């Protein structure tokens, strides 16, 4: 007879702006403010995160390499992109950045928008172009 295969529940690894990595069942909605790193079979996702993420010194937590040391949110986002790109280049898991956008012109993000003259932030006019760069209301 063939080998019996166990079916693992899919989980999602995600991180916060602090770089802290957490896990949840993949069928749950991603928490507000969290960025998805990877999803897949539980053992594979946990093993990948444990092997490649930074471990906190005084506990069992995991951190995205470079994020806690970043001086700005943009630098933290760059660290996340570099790390997940490194994972993707090695074929570790499909890495997804759902909802993570960066303007192709100025580099602003959903979390760090351009400050507009009216006191509000820019908005997306194309998937990778903000209103400030597309000639929206004057930027401060």
Going from the C-alpha of 56 to that of each of 9, 14, 59, 62, 65, the distances in angstroms are: 26, 16, 6, 6, 11
Max alpha carbon distance in the chain (Å)?
Answer: 71
Burial profile 63-80: b = 16 or more Cβ within 10 angstroms, e = fewer: bbbbbeebeeeeebbbbb
| pTM of structure | 0.62
State pLDDT tens for residues 70-129: 999 999 999 999 998 888 887 775 544 444 566 778 877 666 678 877 778 888 888 778
């Amino acid at each position: 007879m063939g080998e019996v295969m166990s079916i693992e529940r899919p989980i999602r690894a995600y991180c916060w702006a602090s770089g802290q990595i957490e896990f949840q069942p993949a069928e749950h909605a991603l928490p507000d403010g969290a960025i998805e790193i990877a999803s897949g079979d539980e053992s594979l996702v946990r093993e990948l995160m444990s092997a490649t993420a930074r471990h906190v010194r005084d506990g069992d937590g995991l951190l995205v390499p470079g994020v806690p040391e970043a001086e700005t949110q943009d630098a933290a986002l760059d660290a996340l992109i570099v790390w997940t790109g490194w994972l993707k280049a090695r074929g570790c898991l499909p890495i997804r950045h759902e909802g993570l956008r960066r303007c192709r012109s100025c580099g602003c993000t959903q979390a760090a928008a351009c400050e507009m003259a009216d006191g509000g932030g820019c908005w997306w006019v194309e998937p990778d172009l903000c209103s400030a760069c597309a000639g929206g209301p004057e930027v401060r």
